[in-house]
Each structure stands twice: as C-alpha cells, then as structure tokens.
C-alpha cells in the first residue's frame, strides 16, 4: 500500500505535458477486438486503468505487445474466449467496452456488471436496451449477462439519456451490423469523434461524427490501423487549476484547448489569467478569485470530471459559489474531506454544494475516495499549510501517470511512500 505525503504551499512554475486521454485509449484498446488485424495505439498513458484493460484483453487471448512506454500493438486474431474476467471487470467501468466488440465478432458474450469509480448508480440499462434493438437476446444468469445474436442488425435507437460509453458501444455495434443504423441523442465528446475518425480510416462508414445524430452503414470488415490517442482534456483542465492556485507561471503543453471551451470561459469568469494557444495554455496565479455558479453538463458543456478540482478552486474565491453536479448523484461527497481541511462547504442535496470562500486549508490525513476526487484532494493538499497524507492512491494512479514526478518537476513537495 502506498500513500502520497505532500507539504503544501510551494510555488509551482514551468512546463507540464499532458498525457494521452485515458477515456480514449481505453476504448480503442477494446475496439481492437473488432478486427483480426494488428492495431497500433500510440500516446497511451501509463496508468492503472490501461493496465487492467490490457490484462482483460490478454485474459481473453489477445496478443498485446508493448513497443515502448506509450505504444502498443494488439492482435486479437487468437481470441477464443467470450467471457469477460469478473475480477478484472470489477476494477473498471470501461470493461463494458469489451462487450460490443466480442458480440459483433463472435455473436456471443458473457460479462459481469462492471466496476469503476463509485460516484453514483451508474446503471447499464441503456446498453442492454441498445443490444436488444440490434436484435440480440439477453439472459441474466449467475451474476453474468449472457448476450447472443446470429448477426447484429442495424436499427434506429434513441438514447433516452446522453451516455458516453453507451454511445461508443452502440457505434461499435453498428459498424459490423447488417444494414443501416441511426443513433439519436448521442454523446458528443471529442474522444468519440476521434474513435469514429479512426473507424472510418479502417473501413467503417460513419456519418455525423461529433453530432448528436450519427448514421452508420454496416460493413463486412474493419481493418487494423494506427490510432494516435488525443490529449487528455481532463488532465489539461486539472493542471490549469493547479497553475491557477499555486503557479507563478505554469505552461500546460501537448494539449488541445479547443476541447475545453466552456471550462476556459468558466475560469475566466472566476478571474483566472490565461493565455490560450493552439496546443498550450499558460496560467498565472491570480490573487483575487471571484465566486461563481458551476453546472456540469454533457460535452460541449462543463465536464463532470473537472468538477472536483474546480470546487477546490472555488474554496479560494471571495464569496459564495454554487456547484451543481448534474450528472452523478455521488460525486460531491469528497467535499466533506475538504471541510476537514478547513473549507466551508454546505451540501444542499447530493447534487449541489454551496462554498463560502476564501478559506485557509490545512493538511490532514485522508483517503482518496475515487479518481477525480482523489486528484482534487491532492490539489487541496498543494495549497494547504503543513503536511497532508493521502491514502488509497491506487485511485489516483488509475488516471494520472507518474503524477508525483510531474508535479515535483514544477516545484511541488510530494512524495510516494510505502505505508
């Protein structure tokens, strides 16, 4: 067991490079099952979630060759198994991304309920309704879902609710399905558009990429190819907040600021000084932050994954802020820990907190509740006086590569120690 020990209040400066997007690379790894040819994926972040996905692929019989720290070649030709490993699946919500490729290629899949961050109910009803719409039969037996089909059949499916992995799954279902599929009320995240562009370069016929209505003409075969993972927009935003709180000049590089348009507007409203370039953002600490109202929304709105670090930023704003988390009903409970550090946050209901700022924060011993909340607590520790200890850092390692090394290079005092 490891923990982070952080001594706060160090001024940070310099450049920090953004890694490839976890929520893009994970899906492309799973999508390698759609073809028997080699898939090369570059700019893959070196994080726990990626390792679990690779373990899941290997468990199914895929050959995964690591070319260097951030590049893999996957070949799934020899996959014989159609049952997803339940122990590994319990660690990762994205294990559900393996379901559609297995179903599309082998006509059958068995999988357990997926795990992942405990931030709300996170049901899979829309996936199941989607598979039924494509003509698949679903049985639930011994804590496993068993789905079968002769061949998926193109359909018209309306998402009752916008879901990222749900949209990605049904796009994959349509690729090799017979006939045409129309998906309505799709999620529009840049990771989905990047995935669709890659599929089209591998022989798919997808129209409406990046829109809420997507049309797909099924094809007989998807080829292999090379996918260069897009920069992680959540890391980009997280590092920008770190720069706003403790930087004397932090340049976030290797990013695509276009993917965070609403987030930048929100930061400007709060009074953060930003210089936004094509592939970088330069942030300087501001001495007077303004309170605001934050409301998470599906893309292109303000992403829920940046809500926890934004909440930490607002503990330093002068006045009353409101954070409205509209996507998940369990993604504000970490604010309790911020209060232990000295913040003044009142939970109105599971979806809303009111923050009275500015408050001085002091270091405490705490546990990381989930990936993004863990990162928010780490940011709080960077601005707190004294020493903080964060346990359960597996949760942070799930999504951020060598975070202590990268922040140390900016000047932070953060150490990984064995408990």
Residues at the interface with ligand EPZ (CB under 6 A): 23, 26, 93-94, 117, 120-127, 161, 163-166, 187, 303-305, 327-328, 371-372, 399
Q: Which residues pair with 42 in a beta bridge?
A: 228
Q: Which is nearer to ligand EPZ, 124 or 317 (CB)?
A: 124
Of the pair 196, 364, the CB lying nearest ligand EPZ is at: 196
Say which residue the tokens 């990605």 belong to. 168
For residue 99, whether the previous peptide bond is cis, meaning omega lies within 30 degrees of 0, is no
DSSP code string of 338-358: HHHTT-EEEEEETTEEEEEE-
Q: Which positions ≥6 away from 103 have C-beta within 8 Å?
A: 109, 131, 136, 147, 149, 152, 173
- Contact, 266 vs 237, CB < 8 A? no
Residue with tokens 């003509």: 135
Least distance in Å: CB of 28 to ligand EPZ?
12
Tell the smallest beta-carbon distance from residue 229 to ligand EPZ (Å). Answer: 13
* Residue number with CB closer to ligand EPZ (26 or 222): 26
In whole angstroms, the minimum distance from the beta carbon of 262 to ligand EPZ comes to 13
Joined together, the tokens standing for residue 197 give 């562009």
**39 is annotated as an active-site residue:** no
Instruction: Supply 230's token pair.
Output: 């897009």
- Whether 334 and 364 have beta carbons less than 8 Å apart is answered as no
Minimum CB distance to ligand EPZ smaller for 24 or for 316? 24
The one catalytic residue among 7, 39, 117, 348: 117
Considering the complex, state which of residue 88 and residue 289 has its C-beta at the smaller distance from ligand EPZ. Answer: 88
Do the Cβ atoms of 374 and 2 come closer than 8 Å? Answer: no
Cis amide bond preceding 237, omega within 30:
no
- With respect to ligand EPZ, which residue has the nearer C-beta, 66 or 161? 161
Q: How far is the CB of 52 from ligand EPZ (least distance, A)?
A: 12
- Between CA 268 and CA 262 the distance in angstroms is 10
Copy the structure tokens of residue 80.
């014989």
User: CB of 403 within 8 A of CB of 410?
Assistant: no
Cβ atoms of 171 and 183 closer than 8 Å: yes
Q: At 200, is the secondary structure helix, strand, or coil?
A: helix
Whether 101 contacts 33, CB under 8 Å: yes
Find, among 270, 268, 264, 327, the residue nearest to 293 by Cα.
270
Cβ 96 to ligand EPZ shortest distance, Å: 8
CB nearer ligand EPZ, residue 173 or residue 289: 173
Among 87, 92, 107, 143, residue whose Cα is nearest residue 33: 107
Residue 363 near residue 380 (C-beta atoms within 8 A): no
Is-contact 59 102, C-beta < 8 A?
no
- When the beta carbons of 93 and 153 are compared against ligand EPZ, the nearer one is 93
C-alpha atoms less than 13 angstroms from C-alpha of 217 in its C-beta half-sphere = 4
Residues acting as catalytic residues: 117
């Amino acid at each position: 067991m490891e923990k982070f020990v952080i001594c706060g209040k160090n001024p940070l400066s310099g450049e920090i490079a953004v890694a490839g997007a976890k929520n893009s690379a994970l899906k492309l790894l799973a999508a390698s099952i759609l073809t028997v040819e080699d898939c090369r994926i570059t700019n893959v972040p070196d994080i726990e979630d990626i390792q679990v996905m690779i373990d899941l692929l290997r468990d199914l019989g895929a050959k995964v060759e690591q070319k260097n720290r951030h590049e893999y070649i996957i070949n799934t030709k020899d996959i014989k198994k159609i049952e997803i490993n339940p122990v590994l699946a319990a660690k990762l919500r994205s294990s559900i991304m393996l379901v559609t490729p297995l179903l599309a290629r082998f006509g059958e899949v068995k999988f357990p309920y997926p795990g992942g961050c405990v931030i709300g109910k996170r049901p899979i009803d829309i996936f199941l309704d989607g598979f039924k719409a494509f003509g698949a039969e679903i049985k639930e037996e011994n804590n496993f879902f068993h789905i079968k089909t002769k061949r998926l059949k193109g359909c018209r499916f309306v998402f009752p609710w916008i879901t990222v992995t749900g949209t990605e799954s049904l796009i994959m279902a349509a690729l090799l399905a017979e006939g045409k599929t129309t998906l309505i009320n799709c999620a529009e995240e840049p990771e989905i558009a990047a995935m669709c562009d890659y599929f089209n370069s591998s022989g798919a016929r997808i129209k409406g990429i990046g829109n809420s209505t997507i049309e797909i003409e099924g094809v007989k075969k998807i080829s292999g190819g090379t996918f260069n993972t897009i920069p992680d927009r959540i890391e980009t935003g997280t590092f920008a907040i770190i720069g706003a709180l403790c930087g004397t000049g932090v340049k976030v590089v290797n990013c695509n600021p276009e993917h965070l348009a609403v987030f930048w507007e929100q930061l400007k409203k709060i009074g953060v000084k930003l210089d936004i370039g094509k592939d970088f953002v330069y942030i300087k600490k501001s001495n007077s932050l303004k309170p605001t109202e934050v409301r998470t929304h599906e893309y292109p709105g303000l992403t829920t994954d940046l809500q926890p670090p934004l909440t930490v930023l607002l503990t330093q704003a002068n006045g009353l802020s409101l954070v409205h988390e509209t996507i998940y009903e369990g993604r504000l409970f970490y604010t309790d820990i911020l209060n232990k550090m000295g913040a003044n946050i009142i939970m109105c209901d599971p979806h809303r907190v009111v923050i009275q700022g500015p408050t001085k924060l002091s270091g405490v011993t705490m546990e990381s509740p989930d990936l993004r909340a863990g990162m928010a607590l780490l940011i709080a520790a960077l601005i707190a006086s004294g020493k903080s200890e964060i346990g359960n850092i597996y949760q942070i390692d799930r999504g951020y590569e060598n975070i202590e090394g990268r922040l140390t290079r900016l000047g932070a005092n953060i150490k990984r120690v064995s408990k």
